[in-house]
Each structure stands twice: as structure tokens, then as C-alpha cells.
Chain A
Amino acid sequence: QSALTQPASVSGSPGQSITISCTGTSSDVAGYNYVSWYQQHPGKAPKLMIYDVSNRPSGVSNRFSGSKSGNTASLTISGLQAEDEADYYCSSYTSSSTVVFGGGTKLTVL
């Protein structure tokens, strides 16, 4: 159950777009369309932003989008805003009926 691989940090200026990658294996990301993305602000519980690769829960801005190609999933945030500054985690269902998270990516809005 190795963690999914995410970049430790990404940054962008307000209004720009950024993409966070999440790399797994054939036993998780590549094997299922069950990749999720969570946003976590300091001291707060995580919040679901994307599920099943590209679906947005009700209430989540359409500036957030998800995709997947092979064993790599991606979260794209367009029109970057100051409030988007947070930690982002991907997760995937696995062939062992477990879930694995990525190591997390700190997004800095410059």
C-alpha cells in the first residue's frame, strides 16, 4: 500500500491555472475510475473536491476539474483565487478493497 505520488508543492498567481498530478499503479489509479481529490485548509477537516476522477460534488466551484490518463490522475484549478491556497490530496480505491492517499501537495497562491 504505497502512497500515491504527488508533487510536494505547486504555486501560481491569481487568475492563472495550475495542475496537480497524482501517480499510482495498475492496482489503484490505472485500475479504477475511483480517484478523488480533497482540499484541506490548516486546522480543518478535508473537503471533497472531485470524485470518480472528474465529478464535482454539489457546491464545488467549476474552476476545479479532474482527469486521468493511465496511472496518473490530475487536478486542475483554473482562475486561481487566494482562497484556493491549501493542501490537496488525491486518493484512489485499490485492488485490495482499501484506499490509498497521495502524500499531499501544498498550493501557494502568489
Chain B
Amino acid sequence: EVQLVESGGGLVQPGGSLRLSCAASGFTVSSNYISWVRQAPGKGLEWVSVIYSGGSTYYADSVKGRFTISRDSSKNMLYLQMNSLRAEDTAVYYCAKTVGATHIDYWGQGTLVTVSS
């Protein structure tokens, strides 16, 4: 059974950093495309980033240069390093197994990141 479990969310001050983790089971992270998608409170879904099976990475303009997606094949884990955080980054962050970089077939339960002083 495919499962994705995010962790690492919390309260952080503007300008601060946070690293989100996503533990995957039931499939191999390094053989798949994995995305991060976020949802601000009461708002819609926003695509954040994707890492391809081959290692290529892509980012939304809103986070480019501040966020870094990575994976650890030995642990079957995915990460999102978030730097220079802003209030507008406040959201629930979902880790998601992605098919061919085009659609998401499995989602985690999400982890809440709050950027506030």
C-alpha cells in the first residue's frame, strides 16, 4: 500500500528556515516523480516543486531560489528545504507521488507551516 507521511511543519519567524520530510512506503522514491503541493488556509492548491526519477528538479516561480527539493534513496525519504520564509508561505504542505510529472495519484495527509512573528 502506498503511503506518504509528512513531518517537520511548525511555527517559524519570517526570514527563517524549515525542512519538511516525507516518509514514503509501498513504492520507491528514487524510481518515481514526487511533488510538493501547498494550500494556504482557506485557499486553493498551489504546486510548489517536483523531483523527477532521474533527479531533475523544478520549482514554482514563487519559491524558486528559496526552496530546495531533494531525496534520500537509502531512507526512501523526500525533503523540502525552505529558506527565507515569508508570511505568504504559510500553508499545509502535501507530499505527493506524481505520475509522469503530470498528475498526482497519491497524497500525504499534509503538514502545516506557519510563518509569523
Write the residues of chain A forming the contact surface with B, with a CB cutoff of 8 angstroms.
Answer: 1, 3, 32, 34, 36, 38, 40, 45-48, 51-52, 57, 87, 89, 91, 93, 96-104
Write the residues of chain B forming the contact surface with A, with a CB cutoff of 8 angstroms.
Answer: 35, 37, 44-47, 50, 56, 58-62, 94, 99, 101-105, 107-110
Per the bound structure, the CA–CA distance linking A106 and B99 in Å amounts to 26
Q: Is the CB of B108 within 8 A of A45?
A: yes
Q: Is the CB of B101 within 8 A of A48?
A: no
* Cβ contact of B60, chosen from A1, A38, A40, A93, cutoff 8 A: A1
Q: Is the CB of B58 within 8 A of A101?
A: no
Per the bound structure, the CA–CA distance linking A104 and B43 in Å amounts to 9
Residues of A within 8 A of B58 (CB): 96-98
Who on chain A is nearest to B57 by CB? A97
Also in contact, A98 and B45, with CB within 8 A (given A45-B110, A48-B104): no
Per the bound structure, the CA–CA distance linking A48 and B37 in Å amounts to 14
Also in contact, A51 and B103, with CB within 8 A (given A45-B110, A96-B58, A98-B58): yes
